[in-house]
């Protein structure tokens, strides 16, 4: 079975082709970072317009790289939520039109479930059940995963997503968009113990997260220790972002491992853009191995938004014979 997958949930236009045995034949991601950078975040109207320009060339490129023709494709998988509705509608309408014109069946899938499925693109995927952490620009949630379609949410953020906190702190410090990769890089040479930022726990048995207080703590710290007119010296800036990253990572690792033990499981899977963070990956591996838990990390390119993860998930559903109707809509929020 050859599946064409499309994701236009936010500011990346992505198309991929998945072959038999979850073989990734192509995965093209066209980033809109340059377009949104000067605004310090994604401008939804601009994102939708750019998706419209990109969708045909990107799908054509993905088919070309996979050496596949449209007539070889057995199914189309497309994200229909959650995300920016204007962006989602471009990919979804394109997929529906393509399906209608060619008769190729299509299936709409959940973007969060796509992130959780990214690990199945790797050589050694986990066995079910496991605890999955989705940590991206829009979501920070913990799930017990017993199989495809079998998810139990254990906790989620009550305010900002972790990636959103990275982006907002970076924007406040004038570091540009997206903030995660910049903070990751700058933190490598900073002192993570320079500033003791709060680690919100929300109670012993809660698997919920809260990052907006941490973001405010960074803002307050900077206001109390203002930068000189020429800006912060590099080492001071590195210390601040490194201390912020340390607080985020500590909370993510601690809660995830608590959830694994609470569920009496021994496997944990990371996913979402923030799972590309080098410090989070390193700490998760280190602390898990100390506690006898096995960690599964998707390659960084499969952590940030990509159509390959949508293709892996869509293939599961299409193989079971599941199909979506042409009336399928796009949704800004779509719980698992």
Torsion of CA 165, 166, 167, 168, to 10 degrees: 50
Query: Rounded to the nearest whole angstrom, what is the least distance from the CB of residue 118 to ligand KG4 in the complex?
Result: 9
Identity of the residue, 62 or 134, whose beta carbon is nearer to Zn ion in the bound complex: 134
Task: Report the C-alpha gap between 215 and 223 in whole angstroms.
Answer: 13
Choose which of 164, 167, 246, 305 interacts with Zn ion (CB under 5 A).
305
Residue 114 binds what, of Zn ion, ligand KG4, none (CB under 5 to 8 Å, by partner type)?
Answer: none
Quickly tell me which residue has 């080492």 as its tokens: 235
Query: Rounded to the nearest whole angstrom, what is the least distance from the CB of residue 19 to Zn ion in the complex?
Result: 23
- Give the total of residues touching ligand KG4 (CB under 6 A): 19
Write the burial class of residue 49 (CB in 10 Å: 0-12 exposed, 13-18 middle, 19+ buried). middle
305 binds ligand KG4 (CB under 6 A): yes
Choose which of 75, 108, 137, 155 interacts with ligand KG4 (CB under 6 A).
137
- For the residues of 40-107, what is the DSSP string, one character each? TS--HHHHHHHHHHHHHHHHHHHHHHTT--GGG--EEEEEEESS-HHHHHHHHHHHHHHHHHH---EE
Task: Report the C-alpha gap between 328 and 241 in whole angstroms.
Answer: 42
Choose which of 113, 167, 239, 316 interacts with ligand KG4 (CB under 6 A).
167
Query: Rounded to the nearest whole angstrom, what is the least distance from the CB of residue 180 to ligand KG4 in the complex?
Result: 2
211 binds ligand KG4 (CB under 6 A): no
Helix, strand, or coil here: 158?
A: coil
Identity of the residue, 36 or 267, whose beta carbon is nearer to ligand KG4 in the bound complex: 36
Identity of the residue, 200 or 272, whose beta carbon is nearer to ligand KG4 in the bound complex: 272
136 binds Zn ion (CB under 5 A): yes
Task: Report the C-alpha gap between 10 and 183 in whole angstroms.
Answer: 21
Please list, in sequence order, all residues whose beta carbon lies within 8 angstroms of the beta carbon of residue 31, skipping any fewer than 6 positions away.
Answer: 11, 12
How distant, in Å, are the alpha carbons of 178, 201, 249, 254 from that of 158?
22, 12, 17, 17
180 binds ligand KG4 (CB under 6 A): yes
Instruction: Choose the stretch contacting ligand KG4; rule: CB under 6 A; options: 39-47, 131-139, 193-201, 319-327.
Output: 131-139
Instruction: Choose the stretch contacting Zn ion; rule: CB under 5 A; options: 14-22, 62-70, 136-144, 157-165.
Output: 136-144
Task: Report the C-alpha gap between 144 and 301 in whole angstroms.
Answer: 24
Query: Rounded to the nearest whole angstrom, what is the least distance from the CB of residue 252 to ligand KG4 in the complex?
Result: 10
Write the burial class of residue 167 (CB in 10 Å: 0-12 exposed, 13-18 middle, 19+ buried). buried
Token couple for 184: 């990751």
Query: Rounded to the nearest whole angstrom, what is the least distance from the CB of residue 34 to ligand KG4 in the complex?
Result: 15
Give the sign of the dihedral formed by CA 201, CA 203, CA 209, CA 211: negative
Identity of the residue, 98 or 303, whose beta carbon is nearer to ligand KG4 in the bound complex: 303
Q: Judge whether 244 and 216 are in contact, CB under 8 Å.
A: no
Query: Rounded to the nearest whole angstrom, what is the least distance from the CB of residue 145 to ligand KG4 in the complex?
Result: 17
Instruction: Choose the stretch contacting ligand KG4; rule: CB under 6 A; options: 99-107, 120-128, 132-140, 309-317.
Output: 132-140
Positions in the binding site for ligand KG4 (CB under 6 A): 10, 136-138, 163, 166-167, 178-181, 184, 272-274, 276-277, 304-305
- Binding region for Zn ion (CB under 5 A): 136, 305
């Amino acid at each position: 079975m050859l599946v064409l997958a499309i994701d236009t949930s936010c500011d990346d236009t992505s198309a991929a082709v998945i072959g038999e045995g979850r073989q990734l034949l192509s995965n093209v991601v066209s980033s809109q970072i340059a377009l949104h950078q000067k605004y310090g975040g994604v401008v939804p109207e601009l994102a939708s317009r750019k998706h419209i320009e990109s969708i045909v060339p990107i799908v054509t490129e993905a088919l070309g790289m996979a050496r596949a023709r449209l007539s070889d494709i057995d199914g189309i998988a497309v994200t229909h939520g959650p995300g920016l509705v204007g962006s989602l509608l471009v990919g979804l309408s394109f997929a529906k039109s393509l399906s209608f014109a060619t008769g190729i069946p299509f299936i709409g899938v959940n973007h969060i479930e796509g992130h959780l499925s990214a690990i199945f693109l790797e050589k050694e995927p986990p066995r079910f059940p496991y605890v999955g952490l989705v940590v991206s620009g829009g979501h920070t949630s913990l799930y017990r995963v017993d199989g495809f379609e079998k998810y139990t949410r254990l906790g989620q953020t009550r305010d900002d997503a972790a990636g959103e906190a990275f982006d907002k702190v970076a924007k406040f410090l004038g570091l540009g968009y997206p903030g995660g990769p910049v903070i990751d890089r700058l933190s490598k040479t900073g002192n993570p113990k320079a500033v003791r930022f709060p680690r919100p726990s929300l109670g012993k048995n809660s698997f919920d997260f809260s990052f907006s207080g941490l973001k405010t703590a960074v803002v307050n710290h900077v206001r109390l220790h203002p930068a000189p007119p020429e800006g912060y010296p590099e080492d001071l800036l590195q210390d601040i972002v490194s201390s912020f990253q340390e607080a985020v990572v500590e909370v993510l690792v601690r809660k995830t491992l608590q959830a694994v033990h609470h569920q009496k499981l021994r496997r944990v899977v990371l996913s979402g853009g923030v799972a590309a963070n080098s410090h989070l990956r390193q700490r998760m591996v280190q602390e898990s191995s100390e506690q006898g838990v096995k960690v599964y990390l998707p390659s960084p390119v499969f952590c940030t938004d990509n159509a390959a993860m949508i293709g892996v998930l869509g293939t599961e559903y299409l193989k079971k014979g599941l199909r979506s109707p042409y009336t399928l809509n796009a949704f800004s929020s779509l719980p698992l």
